[in-house]
Amino acid sequence: MSRPPSETASETASQAPSHRQLSLNLFVYPGGHHEAGWRYPGSEPERIVDITYYQELARKAEAAKFDALFFADGPALADNVRYASRFRLEPLTTLSALASVTQKIGLIATASTTYYEPYNLARLFASVDHISGGRVGWNIVTTSAAVAAQNFGLDEHPHHADRYGRAHEFLDVITKLWDSWQDDALVIDPDSGIFADTDRVHQINHIGEHFRVRGPLNLPRSPQGRPVYVQAGSSEDGREFAVRHAEAIFTAHQTLPSAQAFYADIKARARAVGRNPDHLKVLPGISPYIGSTEAEARALHETFNNLTQAPYSLELLRRITGLDLSGHDLDAPFPRHLIAPDGDKAVASRFQLVLDIVDREKPTIRQLTHKLAGARGHWVSVGTPEKIADDIQTWFENGAADGFNVMPPWFHGGFDVFVAEVLPILRKRGLFREDYAGATLRDHFGLPRPESLYASPARQSA
């Protein structure tokens, strides 16, 4: 696999299998990925703020040789907490606690470029990457929840384009900060008395539209050089952002053709800007409902849908589409004509996904809410372990995915059955690793370790 001259592969990455294999992350959503997962027997919603709940999951996922655990987050309390588990521990704090009980599994946390400052966030992620020995990834979001603005002294939430403008500059600043110490800046030579070579520690002196940051970061470069850059979002702005910055993309698709079109578009854009498309992993979400027979799996899925509560389901639909349907007959056709095609939400990828479901399937309002209840628009696969494995293999081998975010309907049970029943089939087919080939998240994803921006003579004199 060729690499640009500016990229240096980690030693252990070369030990990976020569044939392409799946990347699998465990997407940890505290109450489970079905909106009513917390109500399902065997779920443990009372443990959502108990760190041992997550430590147990982390150990299980590491034993299964998953690439990473992924934690979503948002800087505001959702207004539907009455009906579901919508709060969570702060993810970077959580990653530190998980790093102490694991050795190799990657740890990915979400943080917003809209509501953090680059210097503080650079220090937080660099600290956890040092603590974990190089296993951290950053899921970069701009935050879509307008309610967050008033938690940070703003009268209104920045517009979509403004958030992405800030995000591009944020990535420029934080990358410079993580690179501000060259890899060989730490000398630690008691004989000479030199602790650090200050010629290799650089002020970044960034002055831009949104930020003025001198630098350098007050931590040396982390084991991976930088945390792995992850991005979620499939809008046009999101795709352009991902192609410029991301090394893994979390995305939501309902059908194979949709996933294939997105995958082809992202890989083509990467090539067009001179990037190696193999260094931009496309990882859709999959929420599996697994039964020993097809009928058993369908019954399981139906059991979850029967636990949904209309006020919660309709609020989720309102946040995605902008439509308040609380006074409508749930068994009436979804009122497609009420959606404004050029409204504020029209640029959002999840809005378009829901619109595609409506146009393709012509559902009732209730059917649409059940479609979203399973995983908020991510792909729901229902069937036997063999059928779930077939679905994963089909997408993986037909240009739709480099791997998946596994989104169990409930925890821990939904994950346990995936590991016990589906993972052995994927391994038997040679699609997933038997053991880790390396020790960092970059190793697991097959990504190179980037050189510091300041390593080249031209950059040093800039």
Tell me, rounded to whole angstroms, the distance of Cα 409 from its chain centroid: 17
Pairwise CA distance, residues 81 & 75, whole Å:
14
Tell me, rounded to whole angstroms, the distance of Cα 147 from its chain centroid: 22
User: What secondary structure does DSSP assign to 47-88, as a single string?
Assistant: GTT-HHHHHHHHHHHHHTT-SEEEE---SS--TTTTTS----
Query: Does the annotation flag 73 for ligand binding?
Result: yes
Pairwise CA distance, residues 253 & 394, whole Å:
14
- Nearest of 10, 31, 39 to residue 307 by alpha carbon: 39
Whether residue 453 contacts residue 175, with contact meaning beta carbons closer than 8 Å, is answered with yes
Query: Does the annotation flag 142 for ligand binding?
Result: no
Query: Does the annotation flag 160 for ligand binding?
Result: yes
Beta bridge partners of residue 410, listed in sequence order: none
- Nearest of 42, 34, 101, 117 to residue 69 by alpha carbon: 101
The most distant pair of C-alpha atoms in the chain lies apart, rounded to whole Å, by 80
- Which of the 8 DSSP states describes residue 457? H
Tell me, rounded to whole angstroms, the distance of Cα 366 from its chain centroid: 28
User: What secondary structure does DSSP assign to 332-344, as a single string?
Assistant: SBP-GGGS-TTSG
Pairwise CA distance, residues 125 & 45, whole Å:
28
Residue 30, judged by CB atoms within 10 A of its CB (0-12, 13-18, 19+), counts as buried
- Nearest of 280, 273, 209 to residue 251 by alpha carbon: 280
Query: Does the annotation flag 18 for ligand binding?
Result: no
User: What secondary structure does DSSP assign to 92-123, as a single string?
Assistant: HHHHHHHHTT-SS-EEEEEEESSSS-HHHHHH
Query: Does the annotation flag 110 for ligand binding?
Result: yes
Q: In which element (H, E) is residue 195 found?
A: strand 194-196
- Which of the 8 DSSP states describes residue 221? P
Pairwise CA distance, residues 403 & 409, whole Å:
19
Query: Does the annotation flag 112 for ligand binding?
Result: no
Helix then strand then coil, % of the chain, to nearest 5: 45, 15, 40
- Binding-site residues from annotation: 73, 110, 160, 164, 234-235
- Binding-site residues from annotation for FMN: 73, 110, 160, 164, 234-235
